[in-house]
Structure 1
Amino acid sequence: MMQILFIIISVLMVVLFLGVLFKQTYLLNINVFLIHIILGFIIILYHLIDRSIPYELIGVSLIGVVLLQLKHRDILNDQDGRSFLKRLYHMVYIMVLLTISGLYIAYGPMIINVAGLWMSAITFTMLFSFISFCIWCSGFIHQRNAFDFDLLLILGAGIFSERVTPLLARRLDIAVALYEKNPELHLLVSGGQGPDEPISEARAMQHYLIEQGVPSSHITREPNSVSTHENLKFSHRIIQRQYQTKPNILCITSQFHILRALRYTQMENVSMEGIGSHTPYHFLEISLLRDFLALMYEYKLLLTIYFGLLFAGSIYSLLIVPFLQ
């Protein structure tokens, strides 16, 4: 019975992958992502206690990788893209190797077999979650209808001069393209001045937008934030002051960054949608991994409980079940 239920859940998870990757924008939110991850956690925990392999979740993960590869098959035509894939698959290979190593320790004649099984479950959890994270990041690249929104919130990124970097320019270019379609849009640029930055990121972004033809009267600056959380927190205060009714907001940042940004909007109790700009391939895998870990940290209570259950399940599976038998 449980196997049939998990197969149905796995099919649903694949359907979610397809919807996210192929422009079903209603699935592009942090809550759907979290539900997807929790379903995976439940399957892993059950198989750990049952002393079985989660083949259905392995299948879901493999299908996710194939779907990502098919959607972004043009990467293979780019040398930097091929190098990125090589580095990304190397990271996946290491996680797979750690998972298998943990299983070997768990079922070998060693006193640390509980720790081995626990490590294996955690590593596979991270692998599945990272693949899901990459799929959602990919989904946020889709274009949005400019007339669905009243305000564009563009998050800043580090600058080295008074000009925006190529990474930040990609975010702003999305805002410019949307503004050109709907000149009624207002833009809020958020980013403070770091110790090694000559001006605030918000001012540099404002300069760039004006150069691209956006009138200054349609641009508001938030120049005090020095972190993503502060971006959303301080921007929310400005929005509350300037709007009597809640505007429809689109948050624009890099594709690897959008889920974490939406998590902070959730924490600030502000509703907005998101879109991600393309990231250069030469550091995309590091950015994906860094923001994935940062997003997981924001759910530290959930992960602490889950990892505790995995440890208890490992003890039950390897020590208590054999004793009862």
Structure 2
Amino acid sequence: MLAGLLFLIPATFFVIGVLRDRRRLSNAIWLGISMVMLLLSFAEAGRDNPVLSVPLILAFMLAVLGLFLLPLALLANGVVMLRREGRSLGNLLSLLAGLALLGEMVYFAWGILQPNDWIRGSAIGLFLVSAYIAFLFVSLLLYSVVYGRTGRRHGFDGIVVLGAGLIGDRVPKLLANRLDRAIRLYRRERESGREPVIVVSGGQGADEEVSEAFAMRQYLLERDVPDADVVMEDQATTTEENLRYSKALLAERGLHGRVVAVTNNYHVFRTAVLSRNQGLRLQVIGAPTAWYFVPSAFLREFVALLVRNPVVHGLACAVLMAGGLALTQIN
């Protein structure tokens, strides 16, 4: 009963947050807390109800199995990323995360059995820190899915396509997926009687022969999007600049209506958070991404969101680590 009542508190904050602004980062945290309290309420009810206890036990066993398989899955994905995408730091994230998780499991299993209080305390502390990070990761992942599958899908005056790296002067598959999604949105709006414009946003990188915006514009023109409906923004080098510069270009053309930004599905929620931080009112829609690319890509998004509040997360990890050490000092 108590867990069920406690579930209503974070669930209420979650609903209020979503109604106020779907792009609030705190929505993900309230969703995560709500899910934890919901599971606890089911566990409480399952103590006296076999009908509930059996699926809960099965769910727990699957969760434990998934925990042990997760580092192996991350390691395998890391190898695939290295083979297909190259040896950049971003492409190493799955591999590094898998190694870190595996190392933490081994250290916890070894350390918890040691007679030394400091070793046992550090093992418990690292476990608590890992649990905290895992909670944040799962919460953001769940809410990213919720955000990406809800919200307005039509009625836009401007469609902003966020740039991504080129291969020389060629649009790669990752960026082509964004452009194809934008074309479908554009044609659907035209069929409904609206006259949207597409803003292609992206500057020129050091290893690119042309700006991302130029290559994206050519891609659209080759697929029968009228030149008059394509606006180039070729100065942006970050997602924040993509959004800000594109919105300014739309305003210069007198377009102050509804705007949608198109990116890949793993990048949707962070883009929405950034747009809210800049005071921009827009919707964000995702395009498909190759399956093997998603784990590393979302890990990058997760890290980027964490570093926006380094003091808060740093203090939380320090308190949890200290709590683990303190537990072994209590007689």
TM above 0.5, yes or no, is: yes
Q: Distance in 2 between matches of 1:90 and 1:207?
A: 38
* Unmatched 5+ stretches in structure 2: 39-55, 67-79, 81-92
For each residue in 1:279-308, what CA deviation from the matched residue of structure 2 results, as whole angstroms up to 9, or x when unmatched? 112332221222221222223233123223
Counterpart CA distance in 2 for 1:239 and 1:249 is: 9
Larger mean Cα displacement after TM superposition, 233-242 or 182-191: 233-242
1:189 counterpart = 2:200: yes
TM-score, normalized by length of structure 2? 0.68
| SS class of match (2:266) | coil
2:213 corresponds to which of 202, 205, 212: 202
Alpha-carbon separation, structure 1, partners of 2:326 and 2:5: 23
Match of 2:263 in 1: 253
Residues of 2 paired with 1:34 and 1:4: CA distance? 18
**Equivalent position SS for 2:154:** helix
Contact 1:92–1:127 (Cα < 8 Å) also in 2: no
Name the aligned partner's letter for residue 163 of structure 2: G
Pairing 1:98–2:104 present: yes
Instruction: Give TM-score, length-normalised by structure 1.
Output: 0.69
Aligned residues: 278
Q: Which residue identity does 2:178 align to in structure 1?
A: R
Q: How many Å apart are 1:315 and its aligned residue?
A: 4.4
Equivalent AA in structure 2 for residue 98 of structure 1: E
Identity between Structure 1 and Structure 2 (%): 24
- Name 1:216's counterpart in structure 2: 227
RMSD over equivalenced CA pairs, Å? 4.2
Partner residue in 1 for 2:185? 178
The match for 1:275 among 255, 279, 285 is 285
Superposed, 1:43-58 pairs within 5 Å as none
Gaps of 5+ in 1: 44-54, 66-79, 81-86
Residue 164 of structure 1: aligned partner:
171
Distance 1:9 1:312 in 2: 31
Task: Give a deviation string over 1:21-43, Cα, whole Å, max 9, x none.
Answer: xxx9x867644224335668999
Give, in whole Å, the separation in 2 of the partners of 1:96 and 1:32. Answer: 30
Aligned AA (2:272): L
Superposed CA deviations along residues 84-124 of structure 1, whole A, max 9, x for unmatched, are: xxx98996796377257437635742223332222111212
Inter-partner Cα distance in structure 2 for 1:39 and 1:112: 33
Residue in structure 1 matched with residue 137 of structure 2 by the alignment: 130
Q: Is the 8 A contact 1:250 1:274 kept in 2?
A: yes
AA partner of residue 170 (structure 2): R
- Structure 2 distance, partners of 1:40, 1:62, is 14
* Distance across 1 between alignment mates of 2:215 and 2:240: 20
Residue 159 of structure 1 contacts residue 165 of structure 1 at CA under 8 Å; is this kept in 2? yes
Deviation at 1:5, TM superposition (A): 5.0
Residue 198 of structure 1 aligns with an amino acid whose one-letter code is: E
Q: 1:32 aligns with which of 27, 32, 43?
A: 27
Question: Quick check: which has more Rg, 1 or 2?
Answer: 2
Quick one: structure 1 residues 101 and 263, their matched pair in 2 at CA, closer, same or farther if it must change by over 3 Å?
Answer: same
After TM superposition, list the pairs within 5 Å mapping 1:47-86 onto structure 2: 62=63
Indicate the residue corresponding to 2:83 in structure 1.
Answer: none
